Structure formats: C-alpha cells, structure tokens
Amino acid sequence: MTSTAYDLPAVTTDLAAVTAELAETVAEYDQSGAIPVRGLEVAHRAGLLTATVGTRFGGPGAGPRETARILTALGEGDPSVALIVANTLMAHAAQAAHAHWPQAFYDDVLRRSVAGPAPINAIRAEPELGAPARGGLPKTTISRSGEGWVLNGHKAYATGASALAYHQVWVVTDDPEPRVGHVLVPGDLPGITWVDTWDHLGLRASNTHDVIYDGVALPLDAFVEIPRGADGVYRDPAAVAGPGSFGHPALYIGVARAARSAFTDFTRSRVPAALGRPIAATERIQAVAGEIDLQIAQAETLLHGALLRIESGDETVHPQLSVIKVAIARSVVAAVQTAVAALGNPALSRRNSLERHLRDVLCVRVHPPQEDAALIAAGQRVLGGS
C-alpha cells in the first residue's frame, strides 16, 4: 500500500519548548475539563501528532524510543494532551508496521493532519463489557447494508471525544459466525453522539466520554478483521504489553518529572520563620528530593532499557514487558506520592500543581494490562503455566 506524500509538520527538536508551552494552559483545561484545543495545536505544529507516520507514507517514522521521549515531554506539560497524542501515535505506528487501513481512509487522515490536529483513537471499552483486555467480545455490531456496513453500539472511555478525526471502533459482525475487528469511522459522520460521562479524578481534559453509534453508514472496506488464533479463539492484543504500548507509561514519567519540578520550586521558596532559610537547604528535604529522583530514574531506565533490548533483537525481554510496565507505574506513582507526603497540606491545595500531578499520575494504573492481570500472567509463566 502506498499513499500520496503529504506535507506533514516537521518534528521539533526542542521538546522542552513544547513542554513549557503546554504547561501554560494545563491548569486551565484541568479546571474546565474542556478539550485542550490549544495544547493539541501546539503538538500539531511541533509535528508530534504525526511523528510515527511511516516513511512509506512520507512521514518521519519515529520508533518506540523516540515516541517515548516525545510522550514524556508532552506528559510533563499536559498529560491530557499527551494521552490523546499517544493514542494517535500508536495508530500511525501500527499502520507503519503493517499497513491495514484502506488507502482512501489513510490518505484522508493524512490530509486532515496537514490542515490541523487529526487525533485517532481505538475505541474499545463498553459500559457492560468494561476493558476488553479482561476478555469477552463487544456488543457493538456492524451489519451489512447494500454495498457497505451499518454501525450500532455504545462505547465507553473514548479518549479525545469530539476532537477525534477517526475512531477505530472494536466490533463484531452480525454474520452467522461473527467476525471480530475494528471499523474505521470518520469522526464527523452522522449518527455519532457523545455522552458527557467523564468526570474523573485525573486527566480531566482528556475527554474520555461515552459515544453512541446509531445507524452510522460505512463503506465495505471500513472493516478490518482481526484474525483469531490457531485454536480459533480471539485474544485481545492489549492483554499483553508490546513495544507500541509503552507510550502510555512514558507520558506518566513526564507527570513525575513535572512533580519533581514543582517540589523543587516549592522547597526553594518556602522559608519558615523558625528556620530562616529555604527548606531545600535541610537534609530531610534533600533526602526526599533524592528519593523522588531515584524513582524517576528507575522508571526511565526500565522504559528505555526495555525498548533498547527490543531494538537490539533481544526477544527474552518480551515475556516481561507487562511486568516492566507495572514496575514503571509503581515508580512514577511513588515519586509523586513521596513529594506530596513530604510537603503535607500545601501539596494537597489546588493552588499547588502537585495536587494535580498526584491526580494525574494515579491514572497510569488503568492502562492495560493492569497490575493484577500482568502479575498473574507472569506468575503462571514463571511457575510453568499452572
């Protein structure tokens, strides 16, 4: 498959400037819960929404390590923007690795990406089913109608909401033997209704709302089937971590970095009357800062170390990728919680950005495979599949 080469924005080399620009509006969007349109524009102008578009499609073809670096920088500035971008980069990376979008659809998303932000998300969870990585098949269906399909169903946790240019909707066909796959849906088609259900502790501007598809008409080639295993059983690919799934933990390393900066700024400026100098000068606070740095260094080393091993062709790391994600999640949560615990009440005030960082970093735990599932699978592997 080949597509027309489009004049996509060049990827910036100054990620620190992107982080700083996102940080200017993050508190505003966290408070309002609105789609972070200005942050998405920043990411678009910097070429970060299309960084993983394959070279065969005229894109820069960023790999997993460069993608992780980008998402860490975005997460440090605005993790809601980073999450929307992460989902988009994962979609482009999957297309670069194995072209599965019909050419007309992918050409369309690239055209949109030249004009402005064109986020993509794989919309999979459902109110009754929950996360598909836990097993089960969706109730959302596509039915044959004339020369195409009709999509009907109700999805949950659809990050990006009405800002999405394309939805990759996880569906089953209504065939006598149902087939499983994703149907590609332009976000501006008739029959798509958003239900504002997202009122979350963290990542409040990610707009991870419910969406209802009611008679959405699609062409026949919009459906991309996911093959079942050799045993005839469909296994959800998100149930096991792969190289492409490390974008999510990368963005939360950015949150931990932002928390480290907030902790540093507060302790340098806080001068108790009884002490007469900044609390940053005390050994207690210095030890806390060291602990925060340790946790971040641990998370970064796990992330990039795993990706380097994959890059070098070391296949022995693949079975451990899910538990490595768990370890990264534990480290970034510990880093932020350490900062908050050391400062007490001031860190829990909405006037202090640490309060927001704590809420945001806790969301790392929801991305599949979740901790209990990863640990059970690892334990069964270690114990010989018992």
Looking at residue 214, which CATH number applies to its domain?
2.40.110.10
As a whole number of Å, the end-to-end CA separation of the chain is 43
Of 74, 92, 117, the domain-final residue: 117
Identify whether residues 373 and 245 lie together within a single domain.
Answer: yes
Identify whether residues 31 and 87 lie together within a single domain.
Answer: yes
Whether residue 258 is contained in a domain is answered as yes
Please tell me the number of Cα atoms within 13 Å of 262 on its side-chain side. Answer: 30
304: nearest Cα among 72, 47, 46: 72
Total count of domains within the chain: 3
Residue 364 tokens read as: 């790392």
Whether residue 235 is contained in a domain is answered as no
Whether residue 325 is contained in a domain is answered as yes
Of 174, 193, 225, the domain-final residue: 225
Q: Which CATH number do you get for residue 75? A: 1.10.540.10
Whether residue 7 is contained in a domain is answered as no
Identify whether residues 328 and 217 lie together within a single domain.
Answer: no
Say how far apart CA 152 and CA 214 lie, in whole Å. Answer: 5
The model's pLDDT over 235-290, given as tens digits with 9 standing for 90+, comes to 666 656 677 889 999 999 999 999 999 999 999 999 999 999 999 999 999 999 99
Identify whether residues 217 and 183 lie together within a single domain.
Answer: yes
Identify whether residues 300 and 371 lie together within a single domain.
Answer: yes
Say how far apart CA 241 and CA 237 lie, in whole Å. Answer: 8
The model's pLDDT over 327-374, given as tens digits with 9 standing for 90+, comes to 999 999 999 999 999 999 999 999 999 999 999 999 999 999 899 999
146: nearest Cα among 239, 220, 72, 246: 220
The model's pLDDT over 87-129, given as tens digits with 9 standing for 90+, comes to 999 999 999 999 999 999 999 999 999 999 999 999 999 998 7
338: nearest Cα among 298, 292, 384: 292
Residues present in the chain in total:
386
Whether residue 8 is contained in a domain is answered as no
Note down the domain range covering 92. Answer: 15-117
Q: What average pLDDT score do residues 158-179 get?
A: 95
Q: Where are the beta strands (DSSP E) in the chain?
A: 120-123, 141-145, 148-158, 166-173, 180-186, 192-195, 209-219, 223-225
